[in-house]
Structure 1
Amino acid sequence: MAIDVTVRRAIPLPPDRVAAYAMDWRHDAEWTQGIRRAELTREADGGGFGVGAEVTRTARFLGRRIDYVLRVAGYDPPRLLDMVASAAPMPMHVTYSFESHPRGTLAGIRVRGGPGGLLRLAEPLTSRQVRSSLGKDLRDLERRLTDREGGT
C-alpha cells in the first residue's frame, strides 16, 4: 500500500499571486510544515528554476530529521509544479496545483510515495500525518498571503 494524499483549499487571492509565492523554493520553510531549510542546489537546464532544477530540503517528520532532494519534473506557472525525489529516504512525488475558483484560487498539494523499511508498518499513521501536515501547509499559505496582502 502506497501513500497517495491530496489536500485542497480555496484561497481568496488570484492564482498568479498564490502560485508565485508557493512555487518559490525560497518560501518553503515559511509555510510548509516541518521544512527547516530549502536550497536550490541545481539550476534548470536553461538556468534559474524550472524543469530539471533541484531543491534540497531539510525537514522534520514524525520526530526525525529528513534530508531530501526534489527534482522539478513539471513546471507550468501559475498552474502546476511537479517534483520527484531524486535523493530521499523514501520514494516521493509532490505536486502543487493552482486553479481559478469562484473564491480566488483552489490550491492543491498531492503527495505520493511510500515509506521504506520499518516505516512501511506505520503507513496508515503516516498517511494521516501527511494529510494533517498538508492541511496545515495550505492553511499557513493562506494566512501568510492574506496577511501580506493586508499589509500592502
Structure 2
Amino acid sequence: MGPGRFGTCSRSSRSVTPSASSRPPSPRFAACSNLDSWLAPHPPSYDRNVVDVRTEIEIARPRLDVADYASNPDNALAWYEHIKDVEWNKAKPLEVGSRIVFVAHFLGKRLDYVYQVKALIPGERFVMATDEGPFPMETTYSWEDTDGGGTKMSLRNRGRPSGFSRVTAPLLAGAMRRANRKDLRRLKAVLEG
C-alpha cells in the first residue's frame, strides 16, 4: 500500500506514518500494520474448515458439584438451549465408551447426534465425540478451582464440517460461540440458583 490521504503504510516497518494532515488516520489505513500478517499464508497447521470454539465461565459452586452436574447427559435439557432430547444407547452409569443420543435444533435444523464418551476424569475433564451428521465434532468440558472456592468451567467444541457446512464454517463458529456462552450462563443460573 502506498501513500494515501492519511499516511503511508510501510511494508518494512509495518506501521502507519501520519501525513501532514491534521485529521487522524482512518482505522482503515491504521490497520495496515496488520495487513501483511493478514495476507500472509497461514501456518501449516491452520485449517480454515476446522471449527474450534472455546468458552469459559466462573460458577460459584465447588468444582465437583459443577462437574457432576454438567457431565450428566440427563441434565443437558436443563442448560443446553438447543438440546431437545437425550437417550442412552448404553446402560448407565456414564463411562468411557458410553453412547448418548442428543437431539438438537440448531440454526433451524434438527440434528441427531450419537456421542461416544472418549475420556472421563471425574471433576477434571469430560470428552465426548461424534462422527455422524454434517458436522463431526468433539466436545470437551474441563473444570478448575477458582481462588474464591468456585469453579471455572471451559466448554470446547472442535470439528470439521462436511458438505455444505464446510462453506459456512466461519458462520457456524460464531453461532456456536454465542450458543455456548448462552448455555454456560444457563448452567451458572441453574447451579447458583
- Residues 124-143 of structure 1 aligned to structure 2 (within 5 Å): 124-143=170-189
1:124 and 1:37 map into 2 onto residues whose CA distance is 27
Question: For residue 117 of structure 2, what is the aligned residue in structure 1?
Answer: 72
String of CA shifts for 1:101-127, please: whole Å, max 9, x gaps.
123100010000022111211111110
- Is the CA contact 1:58–1:66 (under 8 Å) kept in the aligned structure 2? yes
Provide closer, same or farther for how the CA distance between residues 89 and 121 of structure 1 changes in structure 2, counting only shifts above 3 A.
Answer: closer
Structure 1, unaligned runs of 5 or more: 148-152
- Is the CA contact 1:71–1:86 (under 8 Å) kept in the aligned structure 2? no
Between Structure 1 and Structure 2, the one with more helix by share is 1
- Residues 2-41 of structure 1 aligned to structure 2 (within 5 Å): 2-41=50-89
Normalising by structure 1, we get a TM-score of 0.90
| Structure (1 or 2) with the larger CA radius of gyration | 2
The one of the two structures with greater contact order (alpha-carbon pairs below 8 A, sep at least 6) is 1
Q: Percent identity?
A: 33
How many residues were matched structurally? 144
String of CA shifts for 1:3-26, please: whole Å, max 9, x gaps.
001001111111011111101110
Q: Are 2:168 and 1:122 aligned?
A: yes
1:81 and 1:38 map into 2 onto residues whose CA distance is 17
Structure 2, unaligned runs of 5 or more: 1-47
Question: For residue 84 of structure 1, what is the aligned residue in structure 2?
Answer: 129
**What is the one-letter code of the residue matched to 1:91?**
P
Normalising by structure 2, we get a TM-score of 0.72
